[in-house]
Structure formats: C-alpha cells, structure tokens
Structure 1
Amino acid sequence: MRTLNYNLLFKGLFFDAIGMLTMAIPVVGPFLDLAWAPVAAKQMTKMYPGRNGKFASILVFIEELLPFTDIIPSFTLMWIYTYLLSSEPKRNLKTIPIKVNR
C-alpha cells in the first residue's frame, strides 16, 4: 500500500490558495495570473516528477491563464489522483504470444 505524503497535500493546498487569491483582486488579478501560471507549472513538475507531473503542469498552466478557472484546486486534485485514485505501479511483465492453428 502506498503511504500518503501529507507534506505534498499541504504544499498543494497552499499553492491552490495562492492561485485563488489572485481572483480576489479585482483589476490586478488577471495580470497576476500571467505571472503565477509558469510558477505554478514549475512547482507541479517539482512536486510530481514523471509523465503525470508533466501533464498536470500543462493543465495547471492553462488553468491559471484561463479566466474564471482559478477556483479549480489543481494541486489538490493531483494529490488525490496520485495518492488515492491511482493504482500501485504494476510490474513489467512480458507476454508470450501464442499462435493457435485451426
């Protein structure tokens, strides 16, 4: 069974809160999103290395750039996917093809 990494969860909640706080500033908020999007994407790849982390960093970058999507907790959703929904990594098993003659 996979151990839950609560440090990543707390970091994710913090980064989600920063992303949502930009929505609270009326005029400057959208411009802050332009600065926050690459920082959030970089943090996502640091927190979740590998293919899933790269994919999530692209999604968080797009989510931060699009208007009215700051409410989506991308880092928290990635933690939930990684530690609660994703199955254990499977062993690399080789398959042997079998020919059937009829």
Structure 2
Amino acid sequence: MNSQSKKKYKILALSILLDAVGMIPFIDIVWAPISGYIMTRLYKGDKGKYAGIFAFIEEIIPGLDFIPSFTIMWFYVYVFKGKTEETIIDIDAD
C-alpha cells in the first residue's frame, strides 16, 4: 500500500471518528461550527465549502446527528469521484 493510499484510509478513520463525536448528545451548538470548519479544511474548493455548510446544518438541527457527513464526503471524494489530491491538511505531519 503506497503512502497516498495510507493517507486516504487515515482520513477515513478520522472521518468516522469525527462523525462519532457529532453523535454525542448536547454538544451540537458547539460542535456544529467546528465540524463545518474541519470539513472545509479536509476538502478544498467548492466541494469543501458546500460540505462544510452541510455539516454545520446537519449538526445544528436536532435529530440529524445520525447522518455521517464526514464519511459520506470521504466516499464521495475517494470512491465515487476517485480523487486522491482533494485533501488539504497533512495528517501525516511527523
């Protein structure tokens, strides 16, 4: 497995973790803007902006916490679109 592929799966693991954090009850008011910001940093361009807005709305509205917005975005970018250069942050910062 090459380093690009490893990085891709680390972002998947991070996405799952961030979606799990979003499911914690009663932190939506704090988590909503944070999740929107993180989404815009994970994915550049208009896709990241739209996903950030979606993540914010999904987190701020009660009852929508079950939607895994980070994981859905990962699948959109890496599986359906087949991109590897979409990430902005370097999660391998050693």
TM-score normalized with structure 2 length: 0.77
Unaligned runs of 5+ in 1: 23-28, 89-102
Does 1:13 find its partner at 2:8? no
- Structure label with greater radius of gyration: 1
Query: Displaced runs of 4+ in structure 1, greater than 6 A?
Result: none
Aligned equivalents of 1:65, 1:21: Cα separation in 2: 13
Deviations along 1:46-66, one digit per CA (max 9) or x if unpaired, are 111111010000000000011
Task: Quote how far apart the aligned CAs of 1:38 are.
Answer: 0.5
TM-score normalized with structure 1 length: 0.72
Aligned equivalents of 2:37, 2:13: Cα separation in 1: 17
SS in 1 for 2:14: helix
SS in 2 for 1:21: coil
Unaligned runs of 5+ in 2: 84-94
CA RMSD, aligned part only?
1.3
Would you say how many aligned residue pairs link Structure 1 and Structure 2? 78
Residue in structure 2 matched with residue 74 of structure 1 by the alignment: 69
CA distance change for structure 1 residues 7 and 87 in 2, over 3 Å: closer, same or farther?
closer
Residue in structure 2 matched with residue 45 of structure 1 by the alignment: 40
